[in-house]
């Protein structure tokens, strides 16, 4: 079974884009389980109470997506959410990290870890 671990920016992009992104990932990686680290949920909860209305709405929608489609997991490690996500993915051959962050994609490539991203609204495995 493949696992897709989402970072904050990818979850927020899902809230803005069509749910077909999840369907496309499922088609490419079936069977798949969607996972969100608790540190990402915490960050989205903080953003959802932001004074910035647009960011707050997108974060709230992202939390709804998590509740309906994903499993929240505790991840070990220290530092920023990206560090904890990379730590979680290490040593697990069936884990794909879903991110839009260029630096995160670079770090994943350096560590020979798999990722899922979007390019021109298309799901791309990297």
User: For residue 5, what pLDDT is reported?
Assistant: 97
* Residue indicated by tokens 């088609």: 27
> Digits of tens for pLDDT over the chain (126 positions)?
999 999 999 999 999 887 789 999 999 999 999 999 999 999 999 999 988 899 899 999 999 999 998 999 988 767 789 999 999 999 888 999 999 999 999 999 999 999 999 998 899 999
Strands (E), 11-113: 32-37, 71-73, 95-98
Confidence (pTM): 0.92
Contact 120, 108 (CB under 8 A): no
User: For residue 18, what pLDDT is reported?
Assistant: 72
Task: Give the separation between CA 110 and CA 57, rounded to whole angstroms.
Answer: 34
- Give the count of domains, the chain: 1
User: For residue 93, what pLDDT is reported?
Assistant: 85
The boundaries of the domain holding residue 49 are 2-125
Domain with 12 in it: what CATH number?
3.40.50.1010
């Amino acid at each position: 079974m493949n696992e897709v671990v989402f970072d904050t920016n990818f979850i927020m992009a899902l809230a803005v884009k069509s749910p077909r992104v999840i369907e496309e990932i499922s088609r490419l990686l079936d069977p798949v389980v969607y996972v969100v680290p608790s540190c990402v949920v915490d960050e989205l909860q903080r953003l959802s109470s932001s004074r910035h209305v647009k960011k707050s709405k997108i974060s709230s929608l992202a939390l709804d997506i998590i509740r309906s489609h994903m499993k929240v997991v505790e991840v070990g490690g220290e530092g920023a959410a990206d560090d904890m996500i990379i730590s979680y993915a290490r040593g697990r051959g069936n884990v794909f990290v879903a991110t839009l962050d260029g630096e995160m994609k670079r770090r994943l490539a350096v560590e020979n870890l798999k990722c899922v991203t979007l390019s021109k609204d298309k799901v791309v495995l990297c």
